[in-house]
A and B are shown apart, each in its own frame.
Chain A
Amino acid sequence: MRALRSPKVLAGSALLLVLLLLAVVGPLIAPHSADWQADRVSGLPLAPSGRFWLGTDQQQHDLFSRLLSGGRDTLLISFLAGLFACVLSVAVGVTAGFVGGLVDDLLSALANIFLALPGLLILMVIMKPLPPEETSDPLLIGSVIALTAWAWGARVLRAQTLALRAADYVEAARVIGERTWRIILFEVVPNLLPILASAFIFTVIYGIGTYTALAWLGVISPASVTWGTVLNEAQSSGAAVNGYWWWYLPPALAVALVGIALALVNFGIDEVINPRLTSARTGRARGVVFRLGLTPVLKSAAPQGTAPAPVPLKEAQP
């Protein structure tokens, strides 16, 4: 795993791990339940204090508890969306690239149409009339978001499949009479994994942005406490204008952190797909002067001792 050597990837994975862990145990370690109210009389949000670390909102909910409890559904939905979208894009992209012909034309046109459609707006039209119990169902919301998110991945995967289909080893597998589904599953798909991983990460970033935006706009029922619905309550009480920064800043930063963690991991994946893109300022390439048209080779590329001793050409030949 060369990717793990990059400090960006290390930082990103660590951050992501912490956030995921918080999403799992967050509701358990929160000082109060998400619906707990400090008192029912006062209608004024309280600034952060020793008692309420992140203050309270207008209904006197403890915002620190809401932040901890809100992560679970937000992350669950965005990862589900990423997962479903990936399955869809593999199905469409690989089929289009491998089968070719009319099927390819139709599937490509479909993907291009979905790319042009503004996903968020369509989701608003679909979700607005849904009853609250359905908009708080992570599985349903995740899969609906995935429906608007698969096209980008499908397009990238199709291009790569086209390149792989012409590769010699795939040709060889066909010549020895492997069945098509076996070639696709065992010869093509494993070589798509880095691209798939990158598409997955993009989709999760899209998913968390879209889900939070939907919740913030009030399309998702506020009955489920997520970062987005907290933002929605803040928006409708004019928290930004009234200066209640502790109300909306923490959930906004939490969403931003998830995005940043994923983007950092994606940096590493990009560099695995195309090693030439490695940033020259970090890692092994530090201090290398890139000259036009020449890809520098580092002497330290193989660690001392593990590299086989150079064998003179004549002796190597039997």
Chain B
Amino acid sequence: MRTLLRRLGFYLLAGFAAVTLNFFLARLLPGSALQNALAKLRGANLDPDAIRALEAQYGTGADHSTLSQYLTYLSGLLHGDLGLSTSQSAPVSSILGDTLPWTLGLVGTATALAFVVGTLAGIVVGWKRNGLLDGLLPAVTFFQSVPYFILAFLVMMTLGYFGGFFPYQNGYDTGRHAHLTPGWNGPFVTSVIEHGTLPALTVVLASLAGWMIGMRNMMITTMDEDYVLVAAAKGLPQWRVAAVAARNAILPTISNFALSISLVVTGSLVTEIVFTYPGVGWQIYQAVLTGDYPLLQGILLVVVFTVLAVNLVADLAYVALDPRARKEA
């Protein structure tokens, strides 16, 4: 119980730090960098209301103190108000509401797939250490050491553009001959799955190696433990001995999951941009192109909170799986 409270305390602190950082990030920038960006926006055709909202949000127009701005910002957040997007003249929260399901679907599926496949493969490769499979490791590392968006380019080119196996643009068929109504109907779902294959494949390929190599290395270390030897000495079948080792080897993998999830999420967002997938990543690209600060910062906050939530789940799983974690600290 005490461990749990400690962890919860950490997440509250982290969430608060992220919110505060997000607030000050735009204000701490050197010189008049932000002013320049805002001036550029004012030059564009923005209606006065939007400009006033922007000035209030970044404290450039009104002469409120930083503290009162901060409090207004906090209370806005509590009410789910992330400000107004300057490029789309819509509340940031509604833009996120439209695009977040795409991203969650894509990243969630791909990450779960990579975790399961990578962990199972790691168990097998670690167990059969001098098998042919060990030769796979350098090949898998190739995918891990290449940045996500470069890998996305390569996947798009080989399987999409030249291979023609899967569509490589948009989230579903938007061509002239496609008559799809978004929703839970067969043709639409099929189209979404087809269009999601390549982006998901990219994310799986890129993150697979991390799970696989981590699990292999832990398996090799765990296999030397006495309890595994005892399990083998008892005459258990091979696969049950492997399961004994694997069950203990998987614990560090779960805490590694927490370490790498923010990299995986960022990488997936960038992958979306390559495939013009209609998720949060694509909105980031739009926001960068148009200098849409409220949108960019809103996305940043949502991503941070998603990562923290996943971390919390991983932590809970760890405590549930490892009795020692309940006692310590």
Residues of A within 8 A of B (CB): 8, 109, 112-113, 115-122, 124-126, 128-131, 152, 155, 205-206, 208-210, 212-213, 216-219, 240-241, 243, 245, 248-249, 252, 255-256, 259-260, 262-264, 267, 270, 274, 276-277, 279-281, 285, 288-290, 292-293, 295
Contact = CB atoms under 8 A, between A and B. Distances in A.
21 contacts: A8-B138, A112-B14, A117-B304, A118-B303, A118-B304, A120-B266, A120-B270, A125-B296, A128-B37, A129-B33, A129-B291, A252-B153, A256-B146, A259-B145, A260-B141, A260-B146, A262-B145, A281-B130, A290-B129, A292-B229, A293-B229
Nearest to B18: A117
Contact of B265 (A118, A260, A264, A276): A118
A240 B156 contact: yes
B147 A131 contact: no
Q: Which of B30, B130, B144, B269 counts the most chain A CB atoms within 10 A?
A: B130
B297 interface: yes
A128 B289 CA distance: 9
Nearest to B156: A240
Contacts of A112: 10, 14
Contact of B259 (A115, A126, A213, A245): A115
Contacts of B33: 129-131
Contacts of B156: 240
The 3 A-B pairs with the shortest beta carbon distances in the complex, nearest first, are A209-B147, A280-B130, A263-B145
B321 interface: no
Nearest to B231: A292
Q: Which of A113, A208, A217, A285 counts the most chain B CB atoms within 10 A?
A: A113
Per DSSP, are chain A's interface residues mostly helix, strand or loop, or mixed? helix
B130 A213 contact: no
Interface stretch (B42-50, B78-86, B189-197, B216-224): B216-224
B205 to A, nearest CB: 13
A288 B131 CA distance: 11
A279 B216 CA distance: 11
Interface residues of B, number: 70
A113 B141 CA distance: 27
A255 B307 contact: no
Contact of A255 (B142, B150, B157): B150
A149 B181 CA distance: 44
Interface string B175-186: 000000000000
Nearest to B245: A292
B153 A280 contact: no
B135 interface: yes
A124 B130 contact: no
B150 A212 contact: yes
A267 B223 CA distance: 21
Given A276-B224, A292-B229, A129 B266 contact: no
Interface of B: 10, 13-14, 17-18, 21, 25-26, 29-30, 33-34, 36-37, 129-130, 134-135, 137-138, 141-142, 144-151, 153-154, 156-157, 161, 169, 217, 220-221, 223-226, 228-229, 232, 241, 259, 262-263, 265-266, 269-270, 273, 284-285, 288-289, 291, 293, 296-297, 299-300, 303-304, 307-308, 311
Given A118-B266, A216-B149, 13 more contacts: A115-B259, A116-B262, A126-B29, A128-B288, A128-B291, A152-B259, A255-B146, A256-B151, A260-B146, A264-B138, A267-B138, A276-B224, A292-B223
Contacts of A241: 169
A276 B219 CA distance: 11
A116 B304 contact: yes
Given A121-B303, A125-B300, A292-B223, A205 B134 contact: no
B277 to A, nearest CB: 14
A218 B289 contact: yes
Contact of B134 (A259, A260, A279): A279
Given A217-B273, A245-B157, A292-B223, A118 B300 contact: yes
A116 B149 contact: no
Nearest to A214: B288
B18 A208 contact: no
B147 to A, nearest CB: 3
B134 A280 contact: yes
A260 B307 contact: no
B147 A259 contact: yes
A128 B296 CA distance: 10
B13 A109 contact: yes
Given A129-B34, A248-B153, A124 B262 contact: no
Nearest to B226: A293
B222 to A, nearest CB: 11
A276 B222 CA distance: 11
Contacts of B130: 280-281, 285, 288-290
A124 B232 CA distance: 53
A124 B297 CA distance: 10
Contacts of A115: 259, 262
B138 A124 contact: no
A155 B260 CA distance: 13
